[in-house]
Amino acid sequence: MKTYEIAAIPGDGIGKEVVPEAVRVLHEMEKIHGDLKFEFTEFPWSSEYYLEHEQMMPDDGLETLKTFDAIFLGAVGNPEIVPDHISLWELLINIRRNFEQVINIRPARAFQGLRSKLANPEDFDLIVVRENSEGEYSEVGGTIYQGEEKIAIQNAIFSRKGTERAMHYAFELAKSRGKKVTSATKSNGIYHSMPFWDGVFHDLSNQYPDVETEQMHIDALAASFVTKPESFDTIVASNLFGDILTDIGAAIMGSVGIAPAANININGKYPSMFEPVHGSAPDIVGKGIANPIGQIWTAKMMLDHFGETDMGDRLLSAIEAVIRKGVVTTDIGGKATTTEVTDEIIRQIAEET
Ligand code: ATP
Ligand code: MG
Protein backbone atom coordinates (compact mmCIF):
# COMPACT_ATOMS: atom_id res chain seq x y z
CA MET A 1 0.00 0.00 0.00
CA LYS A 2 1.35 3.38 -1.01
CA THR A 3 0.39 6.13 1.41
CA TYR A 4 0.59 9.86 0.81
CA GLU A 5 0.41 12.20 3.80
CA ILE A 6 -1.36 15.39 2.79
CA ALA A 7 -1.82 18.57 4.83
CA ALA A 8 -5.21 20.05 3.94
CA ILE A 9 -5.72 23.76 4.56
CA PRO A 10 -9.23 24.71 3.39
CA GLY A 11 -8.59 28.33 4.44
CA ASP A 12 -11.26 30.95 3.84
CA GLY A 13 -14.54 31.38 2.00
CA ILE A 14 -15.29 28.83 -0.69
CA GLY A 15 -11.97 27.11 0.10
CA LYS A 16 -13.89 25.46 2.93
CA GLU A 17 -16.54 24.33 0.44
CA VAL A 18 -14.39 22.97 -2.37
CA VAL A 19 -11.51 21.31 -0.49
CA PRO A 20 -13.80 18.66 1.09
CA GLU A 21 -15.18 17.95 -2.40
CA ALA A 22 -11.74 17.28 -3.82
CA VAL A 23 -10.93 15.13 -0.79
CA ARG A 24 -14.05 13.05 -1.54
CA VAL A 25 -12.84 12.57 -5.10
CA LEU A 26 -9.39 11.47 -3.98
CA HIS A 27 -10.94 8.90 -1.66
CA GLU A 28 -12.80 7.58 -4.70
CA MET A 29 -9.46 7.28 -6.53
CA GLU A 30 -8.22 5.13 -3.61
CA LYS A 31 -11.12 2.76 -4.16
CA ILE A 32 -10.51 2.24 -7.85
CA HIS A 33 -6.76 1.90 -7.41
CA GLY A 34 -6.92 -0.47 -4.45
CA ASP A 35 -3.31 0.03 -3.41
CA LEU A 36 -3.17 3.73 -2.73
CA LYS A 37 -4.01 5.74 0.35
CA PHE A 38 -4.36 9.47 0.94
CA GLU A 39 -4.08 10.42 4.61
CA PHE A 40 -5.41 13.93 5.13
CA THR A 41 -4.61 16.04 8.18
CA GLU A 42 -6.69 19.18 8.29
CA PHE A 43 -5.43 22.52 9.58
CA PRO A 44 -7.88 25.34 10.37
CA TRP A 45 -5.43 28.11 9.47
CA SER A 46 -7.46 30.96 8.04
CA SER A 47 -8.65 34.50 8.65
CA GLU A 48 -10.99 33.21 11.38
CA TYR A 49 -8.05 31.50 13.02
CA TYR A 50 -6.30 34.87 12.93
CA LEU A 51 -9.13 36.55 14.81
CA GLU A 52 -8.67 34.10 17.63
CA HIS A 53 -4.87 33.76 17.66
CA GLU A 54 -3.61 36.97 16.07
CA GLN A 55 -1.66 34.96 13.55
CA MET A 56 -2.60 32.99 10.45
CA MET A 57 -0.84 29.87 11.66
CA PRO A 58 0.98 28.81 14.83
CA ASP A 59 4.69 29.52 15.33
CA ASP A 60 5.58 25.91 14.58
CA GLY A 61 3.25 25.81 11.54
CA LEU A 62 6.03 25.42 8.99
CA GLU A 63 7.75 22.76 11.12
CA THR A 64 4.50 20.82 11.14
CA LEU A 65 3.90 21.15 7.40
CA LYS A 66 7.44 20.12 6.53
CA THR A 67 6.75 16.47 7.30
CA PHE A 68 3.96 16.11 4.72
CA ASP A 69 4.20 14.84 1.14
CA ALA A 70 2.13 17.77 -0.10
CA ILE A 71 0.03 20.71 0.99
CA PHE A 72 -3.48 20.93 -0.41
CA LEU A 73 -4.83 24.44 -0.03
CA GLY A 74 -8.21 26.00 -0.76
CA ALA A 75 -8.12 29.78 -0.67
CA VAL A 76 -6.80 32.41 1.69
CA GLY A 77 -8.23 35.85 2.28
CA ASN A 78 -11.19 37.49 3.91
CA PRO A 79 -10.48 41.20 3.64
CA GLU A 80 -13.51 42.05 5.78
CA ILE A 81 -11.80 40.64 8.86
CA VAL A 82 -8.07 40.51 8.01
CA PRO A 83 -6.25 42.73 5.49
CA ASP A 84 -5.03 40.73 2.46
CA HIS A 85 -1.42 41.74 2.94
CA ILE A 86 -1.45 40.02 6.35
CA SER A 87 -3.42 36.88 5.48
CA LEU A 88 -1.64 36.28 2.18
CA TRP A 89 1.87 37.06 3.41
CA GLU A 90 1.62 35.14 6.68
CA LEU A 91 0.20 32.01 5.17
CA LEU A 92 0.56 31.70 1.39
CA ILE A 93 3.70 33.67 0.69
CA ASN A 94 5.30 32.40 3.89
CA ILE A 95 4.86 28.80 2.77
CA ARG A 96 5.87 29.51 -0.84
CA ARG A 97 9.07 31.29 0.20
CA ASN A 98 10.18 29.05 3.08
CA PHE A 99 9.46 25.84 1.21
CA GLU A 100 11.31 27.13 -1.83
CA GLN A 101 8.33 26.67 -4.11
CA VAL A 102 10.09 28.59 -6.82
CA ILE A 103 7.93 27.52 -9.75
CA ASN A 104 4.22 28.02 -10.22
CA ILE A 105 2.51 26.05 -12.96
CA ARG A 106 -0.93 26.75 -14.30
CA PRO A 107 -2.48 24.92 -17.23
CA ALA A 108 -5.39 26.19 -19.32
CA ARG A 109 -7.15 24.24 -22.03
CA ALA A 110 -10.34 23.93 -24.03
CA PHE A 111 -13.07 21.53 -22.99
CA GLN A 112 -15.70 20.13 -25.26
CA GLY A 113 -19.05 21.54 -24.23
CA LEU A 114 -17.60 24.58 -22.52
CA ARG A 115 -18.09 27.90 -24.23
CA SER A 116 -15.51 30.45 -23.39
CA LYS A 117 -16.64 34.02 -22.88
CA LEU A 118 -13.74 35.82 -24.48
CA ALA A 119 -12.85 33.77 -27.49
CA ASN A 120 -14.11 30.96 -29.56
CA PRO A 121 -10.88 29.07 -29.54
CA GLU A 122 -9.79 26.00 -31.34
CA ASP A 123 -8.60 23.15 -29.24
CA PHE A 124 -6.04 24.80 -26.99
CA ASP A 125 -3.92 23.23 -24.29
CA LEU A 126 -1.24 25.40 -22.76
CA ILE A 127 0.67 25.68 -19.52
CA VAL A 128 2.26 28.73 -17.94
CA VAL A 129 5.46 28.28 -15.93
CA ARG A 130 5.64 31.28 -13.64
CA GLU A 131 8.77 32.25 -11.77
CA ASN A 132 7.46 32.22 -8.20
CA SER A 133 10.22 33.55 -5.96
CA GLU A 134 11.54 36.90 -7.18
CA GLY A 135 11.00 39.27 -10.10
CA GLU A 136 8.63 42.17 -9.75
CA TYR A 137 7.16 40.92 -6.46
CA SER A 138 10.04 42.00 -4.28
CA GLU A 139 10.29 43.91 -1.06
CA VAL A 140 13.22 45.93 -2.34
CA GLY A 141 12.50 49.61 -2.69
CA GLY A 142 11.23 52.39 -0.55
CA THR A 143 9.63 55.76 -0.34
CA ILE A 144 11.52 59.00 -0.68
CA TYR A 145 10.51 62.62 -0.59
CA GLN A 146 11.45 65.44 -2.93
CA GLY A 147 10.28 68.35 -0.89
CA GLU A 148 6.62 67.64 -0.33
CA GLU A 149 6.41 65.12 -3.13
CA LYS A 150 6.31 61.44 -2.22
CA ILE A 151 8.03 59.03 -4.55
CA ALA A 152 7.67 55.25 -4.35
CA ILE A 153 10.48 53.09 -5.68
CA GLN A 154 9.91 49.42 -6.41
CA ASN A 155 12.79 47.27 -7.58
CA ALA A 156 12.47 44.01 -9.44
CA ILE A 157 14.99 41.26 -8.74
CA PHE A 158 16.10 38.91 -11.51
CA SER A 159 18.89 36.52 -10.54
CA ARG A 160 20.58 34.20 -12.98
CA LYS A 161 19.77 31.26 -10.71
CA GLY A 162 16.09 32.16 -10.34
CA THR A 163 15.60 32.87 -14.03
CA GLU A 164 17.48 29.78 -15.17
CA ARG A 165 15.60 27.36 -12.96
CA ALA A 166 12.22 28.63 -14.17
CA MET A 167 13.36 28.33 -17.77
CA HIS A 168 14.89 24.89 -17.23
CA TYR A 169 11.60 23.75 -15.76
CA ALA A 170 9.73 25.12 -18.78
CA PHE A 171 12.05 23.44 -21.30
CA GLU A 172 11.87 20.10 -19.49
CA LEU A 173 8.09 20.35 -19.38
CA ALA A 174 7.92 21.26 -23.05
CA LYS A 175 9.86 18.11 -23.95
CA SER A 176 6.95 16.03 -22.67
CA ARG A 177 4.35 18.27 -24.31
CA GLY A 178 4.26 20.22 -27.58
CA LYS A 179 8.01 20.90 -27.67
CA LYS A 180 7.63 24.64 -27.86
CA VAL A 181 8.48 27.31 -25.28
CA THR A 182 7.33 30.92 -25.54
CA SER A 183 9.18 33.45 -23.41
CA ALA A 184 7.20 36.40 -22.10
CA THR A 185 9.42 39.45 -22.35
CA LYS A 186 9.24 43.23 -22.59
CA SER A 187 12.78 44.11 -23.50
CA ASN A 188 11.59 46.93 -25.72
CA GLY A 189 10.34 48.80 -22.66
CA ILE A 190 12.01 47.45 -19.54
CA TYR A 191 15.61 48.47 -19.65
CA HIS A 192 17.58 46.14 -17.37
CA SER A 193 15.71 43.04 -16.30
CA MET A 194 14.09 42.00 -19.56
CA PRO A 195 17.19 42.10 -21.77
CA PHE A 196 18.81 39.97 -19.05
CA TRP A 197 15.81 37.60 -19.13
CA ASP A 198 16.15 37.36 -22.94
CA GLY A 199 19.85 36.56 -22.64
CA VAL A 200 19.24 33.68 -20.24
CA PHE A 201 16.48 32.40 -22.51
CA HIS A 202 18.82 32.50 -25.47
CA ASP A 203 21.50 30.54 -23.56
CA LEU A 204 19.05 27.89 -22.43
CA SER A 205 17.49 27.46 -25.85
CA ASN A 206 20.92 26.33 -27.06
CA GLN A 207 20.83 23.56 -24.47
CA TYR A 208 17.49 22.29 -25.79
CA PRO A 209 17.90 22.12 -29.56
CA ASP A 210 14.81 19.89 -29.92
CA VAL A 211 12.50 22.46 -28.41
CA GLU A 212 11.16 25.24 -30.61
CA THR A 213 11.40 28.68 -29.04
CA GLU A 214 9.78 32.05 -29.49
CA GLN A 215 9.83 35.34 -27.63
CA MET A 216 6.90 37.69 -27.41
CA HIS A 217 6.40 41.00 -25.70
CA ILE A 218 3.92 40.62 -22.89
CA ASP A 219 1.39 43.03 -24.39
CA ALA A 220 1.22 41.17 -27.71
CA LEU A 221 1.36 37.85 -25.89
CA ALA A 222 -1.61 38.76 -23.69
CA ALA A 223 -3.61 39.70 -26.79
CA SER A 224 -2.69 36.43 -28.52
CA PHE A 225 -3.74 34.47 -25.43
CA VAL A 226 -7.24 35.73 -26.09
CA THR A 227 -7.35 35.59 -29.89
CA LYS A 228 -5.32 32.45 -30.63
CA PRO A 229 -4.56 30.42 -27.50
CA GLU A 230 -4.14 27.32 -29.69
CA SER A 231 -0.80 28.72 -30.91
CA PHE A 232 0.82 28.19 -27.48
CA ASP A 233 2.23 25.21 -25.65
CA THR A 234 4.53 26.07 -22.72
CA ILE A 235 5.00 29.70 -21.71
CA VAL A 236 7.70 30.85 -19.31
CA ALA A 237 7.10 34.14 -17.55
CA SER A 238 8.28 36.29 -14.69
CA ASN A 239 6.31 36.51 -11.46
CA LEU A 240 4.11 39.45 -12.49
CA PHE A 241 3.70 38.57 -16.16
CA GLY A 242 2.88 34.98 -15.21
CA ASP A 243 0.32 36.13 -12.69
CA ILE A 244 -1.49 38.22 -15.29
CA LEU A 245 -1.27 35.65 -18.08
CA THR A 246 -2.71 32.88 -15.92
CA ASP A 247 -5.75 34.96 -15.01
CA ILE A 248 -6.31 35.46 -18.74
CA GLY A 249 -5.81 31.72 -19.20
CA ALA A 250 -8.56 31.04 -16.66
CA ALA A 251 -10.86 33.54 -18.36
CA ILE A 252 -10.44 32.06 -21.84
CA MET A 253 -11.19 28.60 -20.46
CA GLY A 254 -14.55 29.92 -19.30
CA SER A 255 -14.19 30.60 -15.58
CA VAL A 256 -11.61 31.09 -12.88
CA GLY A 257 -13.61 28.43 -11.03
CA ILE A 258 -12.03 25.62 -13.04
CA ALA A 259 -8.40 26.78 -13.18
CA PRO A 260 -5.83 24.70 -11.26
CA ALA A 261 -2.34 25.57 -10.04
CA ALA A 262 0.69 24.12 -8.30
CA ASN A 263 3.58 25.70 -6.39
CA ILE A 264 6.48 23.38 -6.98
CA ASN A 265 9.48 22.78 -4.75
CA ILE A 266 12.08 21.57 -7.25
CA ASN A 267 14.92 20.58 -4.90
CA GLY A 268 12.85 17.98 -3.05
CA LYS A 269 13.63 19.48 0.37
CA TYR A 270 10.10 20.60 1.16
CA PRO A 271 6.56 19.72 0.15
CA SER A 272 4.96 21.37 -2.86
CA MET A 273 1.66 23.17 -2.48
CA PHE A 274 -1.43 22.71 -4.62
CA GLU A 275 -4.02 25.49 -4.75
CA PRO A 276 -6.51 26.54 -7.43
CA VAL A 277 -6.16 29.88 -9.19
CA HIS A 278 -9.36 31.31 -7.74
CA GLY A 279 -9.62 33.07 -4.39
CA SER A 280 -12.05 32.80 -1.51
CA ALA A 281 -14.92 34.33 -3.56
CA PRO A 282 -16.75 36.00 -0.67
CA ASP A 283 -19.63 36.95 -2.99
CA ILE A 284 -20.80 33.33 -3.39
CA VAL A 285 -19.90 31.82 0.00
CA GLY A 286 -22.61 29.66 1.55
CA LYS A 287 -24.72 29.45 -1.60
CA GLY A 288 -23.63 25.97 -2.61
CA ILE A 289 -22.72 27.14 -6.11
CA ALA A 290 -18.91 27.28 -5.93
CA ASN A 291 -17.42 25.39 -8.83
CA PRO A 292 -15.39 22.49 -7.34
CA ILE A 293 -13.57 21.72 -10.62
CA GLY A 294 -10.65 24.10 -9.98
CA GLN A 295 -9.91 22.33 -6.70
CA ILE A 296 -10.48 18.87 -8.17
CA TRP A 297 -8.27 19.53 -11.20
CA THR A 298 -5.68 20.84 -8.71
CA ALA A 299 -5.90 17.41 -7.02
CA LYS A 300 -5.09 15.89 -10.43
CA MET A 301 -1.92 18.02 -10.55
CA MET A 302 -1.01 16.68 -7.11
CA LEU A 303 -1.51 13.10 -8.34
CA ASP A 304 0.78 13.81 -11.30
CA HIS A 305 3.35 15.31 -8.95
CA PHE A 306 3.29 12.11 -6.88
CA GLY A 307 3.97 10.18 -10.08
CA GLU A 308 0.44 8.74 -10.07
CA THR A 309 -0.13 9.95 -13.62
CA ASP A 310 -2.50 7.14 -14.54
CA MET A 311 -4.82 8.19 -11.71
CA GLY A 312 -4.33 11.82 -12.72
CA ASP A 313 -5.38 11.09 -16.31
CA ARG A 314 -8.44 9.22 -15.16
CA LEU A 315 -9.47 12.09 -12.95
CA LEU A 316 -9.09 14.58 -15.80
CA SER A 317 -11.14 12.44 -18.16
CA ALA A 318 -13.91 12.29 -15.55
CA ILE A 319 -13.83 16.11 -15.37
CA GLU A 320 -13.98 16.26 -19.19
CA ALA A 321 -16.99 13.95 -19.26
CA VAL A 322 -18.89 15.95 -16.66
CA ILE A 323 -18.29 19.23 -18.50
CA ARG A 324 -19.34 17.58 -21.78
CA LYS A 325 -22.57 16.44 -20.14
CA GLY A 326 -23.19 19.92 -18.76
CA VAL A 327 -23.46 18.90 -15.12
CA VAL A 328 -21.76 22.11 -14.06
CA THR A 329 -22.21 25.17 -11.83
CA THR A 330 -23.63 28.53 -12.91
CA ASP A 331 -20.26 30.19 -13.57
CA ILE A 332 -19.89 27.95 -16.62
CA GLY A 333 -23.51 27.98 -17.65
CA GLY A 334 -25.01 25.09 -15.69
CA LYS A 335 -27.48 24.68 -12.87
CA ALA A 336 -25.76 22.08 -10.71
CA THR A 337 -24.65 22.67 -7.13
CA THR A 338 -21.13 22.16 -5.83
CA THR A 339 -21.91 18.71 -4.44
CA GLU A 340 -23.86 17.64 -7.54
CA VAL A 341 -20.84 18.33 -9.74
CA THR A 342 -18.59 16.33 -7.41
CA ASP A 343 -21.11 13.47 -7.23
CA GLU A 344 -21.17 13.35 -11.02
CA ILE A 345 -17.37 13.30 -11.22
CA ILE A 346 -17.28 10.45 -8.70
CA ARG A 347 -19.96 8.56 -10.65
CA GLN A 348 -17.95 9.07 -13.82
CA ILE A 349 -14.73 7.77 -12.22
CA ALA A 350 -16.55 4.68 -10.95
CA GLU A 351 -18.23 4.12 -14.34
CA GLU A 352 -15.03 4.34 -16.35
CA THR A 353 -13.36 1.72 -14.20
P1 ATP B 1 -7.79 36.54 -4.80
O2 ATP B 1 -7.37 37.91 -4.40
O3 ATP B 1 -7.66 35.52 -3.73
O4 ATP B 1 -7.27 36.12 -6.13
P5 ATP B 1 -10.17 37.61 -5.94
O6 ATP B 1 -11.09 38.43 -5.10
O7 ATP B 1 -9.27 38.26 -6.91
O8 ATP B 1 -9.37 36.65 -4.98
P9 ATP B 1 -11.84 35.33 -6.51
O10 ATP B 1 -12.07 35.11 -5.07
O11 ATP B 1 -11.20 34.24 -7.26
O12 ATP B 1 -11.01 36.63 -6.80
O13 ATP B 1 -13.23 35.71 -7.18
C14 ATP B 1 -13.33 36.38 -8.44
C15 ATP B 1 -14.71 36.13 -9.03
O16 ATP B 1 -14.79 34.79 -9.52
C17 ATP B 1 -15.84 36.27 -7.99
O18 ATP B 1 -16.97 36.85 -8.59
C19 ATP B 1 -16.13 34.85 -7.60
O20 ATP B 1 -17.44 34.63 -7.19
C21 ATP B 1 -15.81 34.06 -8.87
N22 ATP B 1 -15.30 32.72 -8.51
C23 ATP B 1 -14.08 32.44 -7.98
N24 ATP B 1 -13.95 31.13 -7.76
C25 ATP B 1 -15.10 30.56 -8.14
C26 ATP B 1 -15.59 29.22 -8.15
N27 ATP B 1 -14.84 28.18 -7.71
N28 ATP B 1 -16.83 28.99 -8.61
C29 ATP B 1 -17.59 29.99 -9.08
N30 ATP B 1 -17.20 31.28 -9.10
C31 ATP B 1 -15.97 31.56 -8.63
MG1 MG C 1 -7.23 37.58 -7.78
Between 115 and 9, residue with greater pLDDT: 9
Query: Does 284 contact ligand 1 (Cβ within 6 A)?
Result: yes
Q: Is the Cα torsion angle 216, 218, 219, 221 positive or negative in sign?
A: positive
Residues 147 and 193 in one domain: yes
* Ligand 2 centroid – CA 283 distance (Å): 13
pLDDT digits (tens, 9 = 90+) for 65-107: 999 999 999 999 999 999 988 999 899 989 999 999 999 999 9
Nearest CA-CA partner of 279 in 76, 105, 45, 96:
76
Q: Does the structure show a pLDDT above 90 at 174?
A: yes
In a shared domain, residues 280 and 345: yes
Q: How far is the CA of 277 from the centre of ligand 1 (A)?
A: 9
Residues 233 and 125 in one domain: yes
> At 138, is the pLDDT very low, low, confident or very high (cuts 50, 70, 90)?
confident
Q: Which of 174, 167, 166 is nearest to 102 (CA)?
A: 166
pLDDT tens digits, residue range 234-276? 999 999 999 999 999 999 998 999 999 999 999 999 999 999 9
For the residues 153-168, what does the mean pLDDT come to? Answer: 96
258: DSSP letter = G
pLDDT at 139 over 90: no
Rounded to the nearest whole angstrom, what is the distance from the C-alpha of residue 343 to the centroid of ligand 2?
28
DSSP 8-state secondary structure symbol assigned to residue 215: E
At residue 114 the predicted structure's pLDDT band, cuts being 50, 70 and 90, is: confident
pTM comes to: 0.93
Number of structural domains the chain divides into? 2
Confidence of residue 56 (pLDDT cuts 50, 70, 90): very high
Nearest CA to ligand 1 atom 3: 279
- Please indicate, yes or no, whether residues 120 and 217 belong to a single structural domain of this protein: yes
pLDDT score recorded for residue 241: 97
ipTM of the complex model = 0.94
Q: Are 145 and 214 contained in the same domain?
A: yes
Using the predicted structure, report yes or no on whether residue 149 has a pLDDT greater than 70: yes
Compute the average pLDDT of residues 274-287.
96
In a domain, 125, yes or no: yes
Residue 293 lies inside a defined structural domain of this protein: yes
Q: What is residue 112's predicted lDDT score, i.e. its pLDDT?
A: 87
Residue 190 and residue 265 in one domain? no
Distance of CA 278 from the midpoint of ligand 2 (Å): 7
- Does a structural domain hold residue 291? yes
pLDDT score recorded for residue 99: 97
Same domain, 48 and 99: yes
Q: Determine the pLDDT at residue 118.
A: 62
Q: What is the pLDDT of residue 85?
A: 85
Q: Are 265 and 249 in the same domain?
A: no
Residue at a domain's end among 253, 279, 303? 253
The per-residue pLDDT for 312 is 96
User: Is the torsion defined by CA of 62, 65, 67, 69 positive or negative?
Assistant: negative
Indicate if 12 and 32 belong to the same structural domain.
yes
User: Residue 75 is which amino acid?
Assistant: A
Q: How many residues does the chain have?
A: 353
Helix/strand/coil (H, E, C) string of 82-134?
Answer: CCHHHHHHHHHHHHHHHCCCCEEEEEEECCCCCCCCCCCCCCCEEEEEEECCC
260 CA to centre of ligand 2 in angstroms: 13
Assigned domain for 342 exists: yes
Tell me the C-alpha distance between 265 and 155, whole Å.
25
| Residue 95 located in a structural domain | yes
The reply to whether 122 and 99 lie within a common domain is no
Task: For residue 180, give the CATH number of its domain.
Answer: 3.40.718.10
Range of the domain at 195: 116-253
Q: Considering 201, 224, 253, which residue would you say is the last residue of a domain?
A: 253
Ligand 1 nearest atom to the CA of residue 280, by list position: 10
Average pLDDT, the chain: 95
List phi, psi (to 5°) of 208.
Answer: -125, 70
Instruction: From 207, 234, 253, give the residue that closes a domain.
Output: 253
128 with 67, same domain: the answer is no
* Residue 94: its H or E element: helix 94-98
Residues 82 and 173 reside in one and the same domain? no
In a domain, 346, yes or no: yes
pLDDT (mean) for 41-52: 96
Q: Rounded to whole angstroms, how far apart are CA atoms 270 and 103?
A: 13
Q: Is the pLDDT of residue 119 over 60?
A: no
| In a domain? residue 124 | yes
- pLDDT bracket for residue 215 (50, 70, 90): very high
Cβ(331) – ligand 1 distance below 6 Å:
yes
Separation between Cα atoms, residue 123 and residue 121, nearest integer Å: 6
Residue 290 falls inside a structural domain: yes
Contact 297, 127 (CB under 8 A): no
In percent, the amount of the chain with pLDDT more than 70 equals 98
* pLDDT at residue 9 tops 60: yes
Q: Is the CB of 61 under 6 A from ligand 1?
A: no
Q: Which amino acid is at 70?
A: A
Ligand 1 near 254 CB (within 6 A): no
Q: Which atom of ligand 1 is nearest to the CA of 293?
A: 27
Phi, psi of 217 (to 5 degrees): -70, 140
